[in-house]
Structure 1
Amino acid sequence: MSLADKVLAVNNDLPIRTAEPIHSGKVRSVYWLTPEDSARLVRERGYDVAADAPLAIMVISDRISAFDCIWHGEGGMAGVPGKGAALNAISNHWFRLFREQGLADSHILEIPHPLVWIVQKARPVMIEAIARQYITGSMWRSYAKGEREFCGIAIPDGLERDQKLPELLITPSTKGILEGIPGVPAVDDVNITRADIEANYAAFNFSTPDDIDRYETLLKEGFDVISDELAKLDQIFVDTKFEFGYVTDAAGEEKLIYMDEVGTPDSSRIWDGPAWREGKIVENSKEGFRQLLLNHFPDSDILLNKDRMEERKALARDNALPTEVLMAVSDTYVGIAERITGEKLVISDNPKAEIIAVLRDEFGLVD
């Protein structure tokens, strides 16, 4: 069996009974179950959700995106072996710790396969909740140009690149395009201040103003849990993105939960501690792949300049990356997943067939 066969690149063609069109994102595809199947699973599996809660099957792929493009390799390798399983395993680990330490639940109800989550429908908070513990990346580039205020928060002079910040910095941005919010442009991924959120909490999908404090608390506590655990592995949790939403439990109580993924190499920067202390940055996250792409192509401006998006898409479409490049990414993802979870990551030989079998035989979701 070739490496390409082990990669789940296409994850939106599974024969799962659905009630709505399949939603396929950069990495995950979401299959909304029929009301009948949702109600049956709630009943049979004893999920702590409302009896009529809409459920979905979320299938992660091994696709790799960077600079808003999907990349591929030689020999028909349309993704990174083990990447999807690594992301799910890491998220599952952190979500479990959050739950055990009394922070909050997630949208995940059950994990029938390493590449699959059964989730409940959540009402998303329309904020990319970004937390930064070190000054690097885009924040450093802005700081080096003289910027000293980020999302309404003043930063002192005299910081050096990749230095630890005086305190954890919350720099939220919009999730999706939000219309009609004063002072917030109607484009995706715009930096916002806490004052913006407070003045327009309902537009960001918060139920009450008090939930702004709650989301910040969950963000900080979640960040600290991951940072402390990574420190035990001599790894540095640099920055990350969390997402939140609301669900209703079986008792009819609405609650704020973690959703999407948390603390993964896709959503976070993770640095090797020993290397950082020697003044070097060794990435255990997707940032390493981004840097590799910037070095691989002669004109890196294509990857950084949003005005050259068509050229960038052509670059990703027309260039099969060397196999060793994608395998280096695989080693990073699988390696950090195994260190975090303390378990060997199982990479499926035929992931699609396995997923279909378990959803058919154990959950009755495939005709």
Structure 2
Amino acid sequence: MNAIKSTNFSFENATGVYHGKVRDVYFFENKIAIVATDRISAFDVVLDRAIPYKGQVLNQIAEKFLKLTADVVPNWLENAPSPNVHIGKKCDAFEVEMVIRGYLAGHAWREYKAGKRMLCGVALPEGLKENDKLPTPIITPSTKAKEGHDEDISREEILAQGIVSEEDYTKLEEYTYALFQKGTEFADEQGLILVDTKYEFGKYDGEIYLIDEVHTPDSSRYFYKEGYAERQAADEPQKQLSKEFVRQWLIENNFQGKEGQVQPIMSDEFVNSVSERYIELYEKITGEKFEKTSYDNRDEEIFKSISTQLG
């Protein structure tokens, strides 16, 4: 099956390269070029199979939302010369991810179900069930692990460890709430509920910038608005657009990224179903038809799109 599993380009002016869980990042003097591959990760593990068109979906959703939120916070993106490529400012990233949750779902629900009523220093009320709306959105930060699992961390721990200054962290919180509000409003217009998401930030010339991706299915969870209340009242699972169905499939196949566990084999049929779900989310959240880019000579096209601008 056609998919971009990885890239290994050599650019004359590049100063380095970093292969993340999903993205390949090429560093230049004061710019970076990010290639959104078709790799997929879950439980902080890169899965063995790549998902066709996933990288294009992520890149183009991120581009749309970076443009839509530029009036809320400045962001790093300067150009998108290819469906899988973004070029922009090389920011110094803060070593935390700003996770914000409007509903009790995913990791937060698993923690709550296990009996925890404090998440990243934030108290959760008793009597909630899975996918309930929270009284107010909460920020539950996590550390950014280069390898292995990201870890929950509280505001107090971030400040005590000096990971981010109090002045900067206060600004990150302000930006996070504002971005979530903007994303919530746009999702609502498309008949969706933005359940939770994460934002990453960095600094460039002393100013805070939004970096990485925004409101994509890799960084966000969406429910369908229609029927949400009825499904909650009936204790039925919510119809959602996110990676959660991949996580659930892995859990059902005894894999959560823990030591000693073996990845289950993803069939072509399952890989295609994941690809279709990503395309569905693209069309639903953007309101636009997804145009598949041919995989013929894709590596060459990506290389040229970067080298033409950055060398």
Residues 1:141 and 1:234: Cα distance change in structure 2 (over 3 Å): same
- Whole-Å separation in 1 of the counterparts to 2:109 and 2:13: 45
Summarize deviations over 1:77-120 as a string: whole Å, max 9, x none.
x4111100110111111111111xx2112121211111001122
What is the CA–CA distance in structure 1 between the aligned matches of 2:123 and 2:226, rounded to whole Å?
A: 30
* 1:357 pairs with one of 284, 304, 307: 304
For residues 157-236 of structure 1, the aligned pairs below 5 Å read: 157-176=126-145, 189-200=150-161, 203-206=162-165, 209-236=166-193
Q: Pairwise mapping of residues 2-81 of structure 1 onto structure 2 (< 5 A)?
A: 4-5=1-2, 7-11=3-7, 13-33=8-28, 35=29, 54-72=30-48, 78-81=49-52
Equivalent pair of 1:108/1:120 in contact (CA under 8 Å):
yes
Q: Structure 1, unaligned stretches of length 5 or more? A: 36-53, 73-77, 178-186, 249-253
Q: Can you list the C-alpha shifts for 1:294-347, whole angstroms capped at 9, x where unaligned?
A: 33x2xx2xx236233xx33xx35xx3x222211111111112112323333232
The residue aligned with 2:122 is 153
Report the equivalent of 1:328: 273
For the residue of structure 2 that corresponds to 1:159, the secondary structure is coil
- Write out per-residue CA displacement over residues 227-250 of structure 1, whole angstroms, 9 at most, x where no aligned residue: 1111111111111111111012xx
Task: Give 1:356's aligned amino acid.
Answer: F
Give the aligned partner of residue 276 of structure 1.
228
For the aligned residue pairs, the C-alpha RMSD in angstroms reads 2.1
Identity %: 32
| Equivalenced residues, count | 303
Distance 2:73 2:68 in 1: 10
Quick check: 2:190–2:287 contact (8 Å CA) kept in 1?
no
CA-CA distance at 1:190 after TM superposition? 2.8
- The alpha carbon displacement at 1:364 in A equals 6.3
Residue type matched to 1:14 in 2? F
Whether contact under 8 Å (2:34, 2:87) holds in the other structure is yes
- State the AA in 2 paired with 1:231: D
CA contact (8 A) 2:224 2:240 kept: yes
The one-character-per-residue Cα deviations of 1:175-219 (angstroms, maximum 9, x if unpaired) are 238xxxxxxxxx96332222223334xx3144xx22222100110
More helix by share: 1
CA distance in 2 between counterparts of 1:228 and 1:88 reads 21
Distance in structure 2 (CA, Å) of the matches to 1:107 and 1:57: 11
Aligned residue in 1 for 2:234: none
Q: How does 1:85-104 map to 2 (within 5 A)?
A: 85-99=56-70, 102-104=71-73
Structure 2 gap ranges (5+): 232-236
Q: Aligned AA for 1:204? A: I
Match of 1:238 in 2: 195
Deviation of 1:132 after TM superposition, in Å, equals 0.7
Q: 1:243 is paired with a residue of what secondary structure?
A: strand
Query: What is the TM-score with the length of structure 1 in the denominator?
Result: 0.77
Q: Which region of structure 1 is more displaced relative to structure 2, 329-338 or 143-152? A: 143-152
The DSSP-based 3-state class of the residue aligned with 2:309 is coil
- For 1:141 and 1:65, how far apart are their aligned partners in 2? 19
Q: Aligned to 2:283, which of 327, 332, 338?
A: 338
CA distance in structure 1 between the aligned counterparts of 2:132 and 2:76, rounded to whole angstroms: 34
* 1:258 paired residue number: 210
Task: Give the letter for the 1:163 counterpart.
Answer: D
The secondary structure found in structure 1 opposite 2:186 is helix
Q: Distance in 1 between matches of 2:115 and 2:103?
A: 17
- Residues 77-156 of structure 1: pairs in structure 2 closer than 5 A: 78-99=49-70, 102-156=71-125
> For 1:71 and 1:152, how far apart are their aligned partners in 2?
31
Structure (1 or 2) with the larger CA radius of gyration: 1
- Find the residue that maps to 1:274 and give its secondary structure: coil
Q: Distance in 2 between matches of 1:339 and 1:305?
A: 30
Preserved contact between residue 18 and residue 31 of structure 1 (Cα < 8 Å):
no
The separation in 1 between residues aligned to 2:47 and 2:144, in whole angstroms, is 24
2:110 and 2:240 mapped to 1: Cα distance? 18
Given residue 69 of structure 1, which amino acid in structure 2 is its aligned partner?
A: V
| Structure 1 residue identity aligned to 2:63 | N
Structure 2 length normalisation: TM-score?
A: 0.90
Task: Give the secondary structure class of the aligned counterpart of 1:158.
Answer: coil
Bigger shift: residues 277-286 or 129-138: 277-286
